[in-house]
Amino acid sequence: MEKFKATKDLIDAIEKDMFNFYEKGNKAAGTRVRNAMQQLKVMATDIRKEITEKKNNK
């Protein structure tokens, strides 16, 4: 659950940058969003692995 909470926190943290990129055209905010999305991808993969391991060990 810790990894899931960290994922939610990261999404909340980039909300302002998403707004700045899409509504205000701030290109630097877009770069920050892209970096955060890459982090989310890695985090999601880690969560999937953890769930699979837990499922298979029961």
CA dihedral (32, 35, 37, 42) positive or negative: negative
pTM: 0.81
* pLDDT confidence of residue 58: 73
Query: Which pLDDT tens digit goes with each residue over 29-41?
Result: 999 999 999 999 9
* pLDDT confidence of residue 8: 95
How do the pLDDT tens digits run along the chain, 58 residues long?
Answer: 899 999 999 999 999 999 999 999 999 999 999 999 999 999 999 999 999 999 998 7
* pLDDT confidence of residue 55: 92
